[in-house]
Structure 1
Amino acid sequence: MIEINNHDDFASYLGNELGTSAWYQITQDQINKFADATLDHQWIHTDAERAAVESPFKTTIAHGYLTLSLVPYLWQQIVKIGNLKMEINYGIESLKFGQAVTVDSEVRLKASLKSILNLRGTTKVVVNIILEIKDQTKPAYNGDVVFLYHFHS
Structure 2
Amino acid sequence: MSSMKEALAATEKLLDTEVGVSNWILVDQKMIDDFAKTTHDEQWIHVDPTRAAAETPFGGAIAHGFLTLSLASRFAYDCFSMLPGQVMGINYGMNKLRFLKPVVAGSRLRGRFTLKAVSAKSDTQMLRENRLTIEIEGEETPALIADWLGMAVFKD
Short-chain TM bin: over 0.9
Of all paired residues, the percent bearing the same amino acid is 33
> TM-score w.r.t. structure 1 length?
0.92
Residues 23 and 78, structure 2, Cα contact 8 Å, conserved in 1: yes
| Post-superposition offset of 1:128 | 0.4
Tell me the residue number matched to 1:74.
75
| Post-superposition offset of 1:38 | 0.6
Secondary structure of 1:81's aligned partner: coil
| Post-superposition offset of 1:49 | 1.4
| Post-superposition offset of 1:78 | 1.1
| Post-superposition offset of 1:23 | 1.1
Unpaired runs of at least 5, structure 2: 1-5
Unpaired runs of at least 5, structure 1: none
The 1-side partners of 2:108 and 2:130 are apart by 22
Residues 82 and 88, structure 2, Cα contact 8 Å, conserved in 1: no
- Matched residue count: 149
Residues 6 and 151, structure 1, Cα contact 8 Å, conserved in 2: no
Tell me the residue number matched to 2:131.
128
**1:98-113 pair list within 5 angstroms:** 98-113=100-115
| Post-superposition offset of 1:8 | 2.8
Secondary structure of 1:61's aligned partner: coil
Tell me the residue number matched to 1:91.
93
Tell me the residue number matched to 1:141.
144
Residues 83-113 of structure 1: CA deviation (Å, up to 9, x unaligned): 3222110110001111000001001101000
Tell me the residue number matched to 1:118.
120
> TM-score w.r.t. structure 2 length?
0.90
The 2-side partners of 1:95 and 1:101 are apart by 16
